[in-house]
Structure formats: C-alpha cells, structure tokens
Chain A
C-alpha cells in the first residue's frame, strides 16, 4: 500500500501544469462556496435580527386579549415592577405603549400608529436609536421620531411641528404639539408607513393614562439561550400575562424567513452544481488524458482494481491539497467579509423581505456550518468526477487502452 501512496503522490506531480489547473479549479470553487455561504447566512441572520431588533423584540408580554383588538384599555399595570421581575430571568425588558391617532404636519395629515417607549430601557431591546436617517433620536420631552414613509406623506422636516390627535382613555380628545427630531431609516414596511415614536411620558400625557403599559418587549442578553425556554421561564414569573416569542407573534415573518432559508438551500445546491462542473470537467479530462498511461500500467501487470485504487488515491491527495488551499483562501475571504462586510449601498438602499429590512451592507458569518459543507461537497464531487473515467479506464483491455483516443 505505501507503494501505491508514493506512486499516487508522484503521479500527481508528474504533470504539474495539469495538477495546478485542477487545484486551481478546486480551490477557486471552494473559496467561492465558503465565502458565499458565509455571506448568505450573514444576511439571513441579519434579517432575523432586524425582524426583532427593529420592532417587536424577541419576546412580548401582553394582557390576554390585547392582541385581538390592541385596545388601550387592556394594559399591564405597574410595568416597572414587572420589567424588573422579568429581567431577573436573564433578559433585557422594556415597557411600551401603543395606540393609534391622527397626525398632521402643515397641510398634510395621516393616520399613524403611535409608539411610546422608555428611552433608556428600549435600547436594551431594540435598535431604533441606531437607525436614524436624519436628525437625532428622542432627546427631550415632546420630541417625536417618524418612519421614513410617513415622513414623506406628511412632508415632514426635522424641527417642524407635528400635531397628534387621538382619543384619550377617558373618551376626550387628546391632542398636542410635538417637534420632529428624527426620521428613521427604512426598517420595515409597516413601521416606515405608519409609525411615530415618542417617549412613554409624552404618550401617557397624550392619552391621559397612568402607570401602565400595553406591552413589555424582551430581548435575550445571551443569544445562545433558547427562546422558547426563556419564554416559559418568563411565563412562570408573570403568570397573568400572555407571553409570546416573535415567531409566534409574527408567524408570517418567521415563515418567510424559513422559506428564505429553504430557497437558500436550493440556491446553494444550484451554485454547488455549477461550481462542481468546473471541477468535474478538469478532473474528468485529467483522467481521460492518462488512459494510455494507465493502459501501460495494466499491460505491465497491474490489475484493474489496483488501477482504480491508484486513481482514487491520486484523487484523495489532489483534493486534500485543493481543500487545504481553497479552505485557506475561502476562510480568509469569509473572515474578511465577516469583519469588513460587503457594502452594496452604492447599488441599493436595502431590500425588504416580508416587510423586514435587509440592509445594503452585508456581513458574512464564518463558522463550522458555513465552512464544512462546501469542503465535504468538494471532496465528494471530486470522487464522483473521477469515478466514471477511472472505471472506464480499468475496464479497458490494456491493448485498447494503449490506442485509446
């Protein structure tokens, strides 16, 4: 056996040009596949993060029945105390108030969803404050921040005044003047089109309500924690509330992300096939090229099975080299994309998937899940590639092989 290994190893390097071409095809394929998987998983992860970080949070608590009609009368009392309790389970939590109203800026007006947030605690759960396109986030009382599409509808400019009219909790007409201090990036269709954000205190004043919240939003501190386990733990802490993960709250969004996952697998498959064709072609040719040579080996006494074994050994060594080279390049490229990212903002402002923003600056992820499958795939493909010519070669009569064209 060591003889065969030696033979195989030498065979590889006998024709350096052919070997380098094969190695190049193999490692290029592998590099691209590793970088591509990294990038795709990066975008999907970002999508999933944005689905929670730019809106709902990961888990939400409501009073039972709130979700059916989003009534401002179905509230969680003493939200501060409950938030403190929830935070003991190892998460960040923040109280929120939400309702609807009529907003007007100059001549223009529109219906809006009004979100009241705790300026300090909200930052532990969502990242609205990092997604300001113009102006600043909420800073002082009577500041409001607008979604970017409703801002266009209203013709709103930073610093202009915004009138908000609602029905207060006692049935009277709640109305006040606010200052537009910031406009959000595009972060999702619904938010863009209809949301205005103000502080919890301003919201309470506008609606004439006391120390309550319509919602408590939660985010894991440790992303490795299982969401469902945390949900159950929170449920035990706050038994009266309806506790739901964002996947339960927005099944359409999480389904869309799952479908995106699935379609990515299909896309992977197509990309892999395309990439492996490059490799397959080179490997195929390199064996066919040597059929005469293999015929000679058989003529001097090698049995067909030995020839097959030899080709497989060569393939093994060759793919090992290719994988080492390609893996190294691929992981390097993927790590670069993980840290520097791929900035597509020159081409697009970001796309929206199921109403969730995918930002135009893509960051890859690099981990065993993005690196290992391409390696295994390349390995398998290279064996499949040589199997056909190898079998063909060792089944030939030595004489035929010698004259094989």
Chain B
C-alpha cells in the first residue's frame, strides 16, 4: 500500500490488516509479498470509524473526536464531531483532491497543492497523508533488511526507497511488521537527506470491527520535541455499503453525514 494509504489507513480509518491473512508460508515471504498482502486487503474495502485524536504541541493540547468514512483508496470523508467549536468541520478526499468545509462560514475550500505538506487541522498529519493514493509497492523499492526477533516477537523490517519516477515526499521509510500476522508495529520516515523526520508507533493491537488491528497510533515529529498526535479508535466497522455519491461536495456540507 502506499504511504499515504498507509497513513490514511493506519491513522484515520483504523482499518488494518485482517488477521485472517495470517499466512502459513512454507518459505519466508518476500518484502513485496508482504506489501502486496497488505495492499490487497485494502483494495475495495470500505469502513466507517470513530476515533479520538489528541494533538499535543509546545503551545497547546487539544482533543478531537472524529468520524471517518472511507471507500477504497480514492474516497475519504472526515468530520469533526467534537469539540463544539469545530463540530461539522469536514474534509473530503476524492482521488488527488482535498476539500475542507467550514461550517462557521459555510464555505468549502479546496486545499491547493502548495499546501499539501501543511498540517491537517493542526495535527502532525499532513494533508498529503490523506491524498496519496498509489501504493507503497508501486512507489518504492522494498527489501527485507531484518528478519528475526525484536522485543520478544518475530518481525520483518522492510526498508522502502522511492523509485526514480515516483512522486513521493519521503527519501526512505522503514517499517516493522509483526511476523505472525503482518500487523505493522512501527514506521519511520526519512527525508531525502536520509534524516529521520517522524515516526509512527502502532500499539494496542486488539479485535475491533471483526479484525485484529492496532487501535492506537502515535505520530511523533523529530523536529518538534515533546509534540505528538495520537489517534485511538473508538469503534470501527468494515465492508459497509457506501455509495460513491456519498463522497460528494454536497454531502461534505451536511452535518448529519
């Protein structure tokens, strides 16, 4: 899956690898196979989830409650339900486009490409995290750079380096994937100078919406000590029927969702 997709999924939808894929390989899977497994799981999936987001920066700390609808990799609708001041603020992603809706002034704003690396609603996620839709396997060369035990569990460490033609923002990504069920545990993102930029830690793996998945993930930027964004899934349901027309600008403005 693609990076964005990965973030999107991990961070915002909470849809994660289903445990039923737990494979029993006779031989070790390749990095490509692991990424493909993850990727396949995501294609065509839909989800409706609710999660709590906690953002801490040097100057303030806020808690948001967010409801999130996704369908495949192309459609996402995110709506803030709490706090009251921002209730109804919503983001719609259709393919590569991103719009924000602001209920206070009742206006929809398209996020320009120049602001894709800007923060999403003040969090440590970027707008770009929401938009990216090609897959990690498509955009990056992959390689298993570690295969063994860490912290008492069997893991694969997969290192991803961008393909020459891929329009990606990271210079390198290192993922840690749990061997027994391919649940990602950790991702570290590097810039083009190979300097680590941020890490994402995925924790509290439990069954939710019929799947086993990490239900808490934390993004920590390295350049801002003490800051982080934490997402905890409150509930999530998979494979719901959602029409494509649900992800429309008209629906973006409707408080009911």
Contact = CB atoms under 8 A, between A and B. Distances in A.
B250 interface: no
Interface in A139-166: 163, 165
Interface in B85-113: 85-86, 89, 100, 102, 104-105, 107, 109-112
A171 B114 contact: no
Interface stretch (A17-25, A107-115, A276-284): A107-115
A170 interface: yes
Contacts, number: 60
A47 B221 CA distance: 42
A102 B111 CA distance: 8
Contacts of B3: none
B121 interface: yes
Given A104-B110, A107-B110, A111-B118, A175 B55 contact: no
B109 A170 contact: no
A167 interface: yes
Interface string B51-72: 0000101111110000000000
B59 A165 contact: no
Nearest to B100: A165
A175 B102 contact: yes
B194 interface: no
B55 A163 contact: no
A88 B118 CA distance: 42
B30 to A, nearest CB: 42
A109 B121 CA distance: 17
A104 B60 contact: no
A170 B100 contact: no
Contact of A175 (B58, B104, B110, B115): B104
B147 interface: no
A109 B111 contact: yes
A163 B86 contact: no
A173 B112 contact: no
Contacts of A107: 110
A107 B97 CA distance: 13
Contacts of A102: 109, 111-112, 115, 118
A44 interface: no
B59 A171 contact: yes
Given A170-B60, A171-B122, A173-B89, A109 B110 contact: yes
Interface string B30-68: 000000000000000000000000010111111000000
B102 to A, nearest CB: 5
Contacts of A108: 110
Contacts of B119: 167
Interface in A108-128: 108-111
A172 B86 contact: yes
A73 interface: yes
A106 to B, nearest CB: 10
A163 B107 contact: yes
Contacts of B57: 171
B107 A177 contact: yes
Contacts of B59: 73, 169, 171
B100 A172 contact: no
A163 B107 CA distance: 8
B112 A111 contact: yes
Contact of B109 (A109, A169, A176): A109
B62 A171 contact: yes
B110 A171 contact: no
Query: Which of B57, B58, B61, B109 has most A Cβ within 10 Å?
Result: B109
Contacts of A170: 60, 62
A225 to B, nearest CB: 39
A104 B122 contact: no
B207 to A, nearest CB: 33
Contact of B105 (A110, A163, A167): A163
Contacts of A73: 58-59
B102 A110 contact: no
Given A111-B118, A173-B122, A175-B104, A163 B62 contact: no
Contacts of B107: 104, 163, 175, 177
A176 B109 CA distance: 12
A403 to B, nearest CB: 83
Contacts of A165: 100, 102, 109
A296 B127 CA distance: 95
A272 B22 CA distance: 86
Contacts of B85: 172
B105 A176 contact: yes
Nearest to A105: B109
Interface in B184-217: none
A173 B105 contact: no
A175 B118 contact: no
Interface in A311-368: none
B149 to A, nearest CB: 40
Nearest to B60: A171
Nearest to A170: B60
Nearest to B61: A171
A276 to B, nearest CB: 54
Contacts of A169: 59-60
B186 to A, nearest CB: 27
7 closest A-B pairs (Cβ-Cβ)? Answer: A171-B60, A104-B109, A175-B102, A171-B62, A177-B105, A163-B107, A167-B122
Interface of B: 55, 57-62, 83, 85-86, 89, 100, 102, 104-105, 107, 109-112, 114-115, 118-119, 121-122
29 contacts: A73-B58, A73-B59, A102-B109, A102-B111, A102-B118, A104-B107, A104-B109, A104-B110, A109-B109, A110-B112, A110-B114, A111-B114, A111-B118, A163-B105, A163-B109, A165-B100, A165-B102, A170-B60, A170-B62, A171-B55, A171-B59, A172-B62, A172-B83, A172-B86, A172-B122, A173-B89, A175-B102, A176-B104, A177-B105
Given A163-B102, A171-B55, 13 more contacts: A73-B58, A102-B109, A104-B107, A109-B111, A109-B112, A163-B105, A165-B109, A170-B62, A172-B62, A172-B85, A173-B121, A175-B102, A175-B105
